[in-house]
């Protein structure tokens, strides 16, 4: 599978492309999908604040979900501190991906719009 960087605006990389680059470098994933879901939320058009990441890597073998998420969050610490408002993570081993999710990637939770409650 070929994984490419998706968004470069002029000389500046988009947040989406930075996420992709950092995760590719840190994990050498078998599968990586970074989706800017900001348009589904109450933000200005063109915003880059809400993302979904699906990542499949052997680095997650024998690791609990919380440790996988912490590893991704550590790689994206600067972006989480300054640019990203929400990050939905779907982290899998190759076996988990093949057995359960390859054809049915989970959806991100619906936005409740700041202080709204369902």
The structure's pTM equals: 0.76
Q: What is the pLDDT of residues 93-109, one digit of tens each?
A: 999 998 887 777 666 66
What pLDDT digit, counting tens, does each position of 68-92 carry? 999 999 999 999 999 888 899 999 9
Range of the domain at 59: 31-101
In a domain? residue 8: no
Mean pLDDT of 36-60: 80
Question: What is the 3-state composition of the chain as percent helix, strand, coil, each rounded to the nearest 5?
Answer: 35, 20, 40
Q: Give the count of domains, the chain.
A: 1
CATH code (residue 83): 3.30.300.90
36 domain residue, yes or no: yes
Q: CA dist 100 to 94, 105, 116, Å?
A: 10, 9, 33
Strand order, beta sheet including 50-56: 31-36, 50-56, 86-92
Domain membership of residue 66 (yes or no) is yes
Residue 76: count of CB within 10 angstroms of its CB: 22
């Amino acid at each position: 599978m070929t994984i490419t960087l998706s968004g470069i605006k002029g000389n500046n990389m988009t947040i989406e492309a930075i996420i992709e680059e950092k995760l590719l470098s840190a994990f050498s994933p078998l599968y990586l999908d970074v989706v800017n879901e900001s348009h589904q939320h109450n933000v200005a058009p063109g915003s880059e604040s809400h993302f979904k990441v699906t990542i499949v890597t052997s680095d997650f073998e024998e690791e609990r979900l919380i440790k996988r998420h912490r590893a991704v969050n550590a790689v994206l610490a600067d972006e989480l501190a300054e640019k990203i408002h929400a990050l939905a993570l779907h982290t899998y081993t190759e076996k988990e991906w093949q057995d359960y999710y390859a054809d049915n990637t989970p959806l991100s939770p619906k936005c409740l719009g700041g202080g709204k409650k369902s």
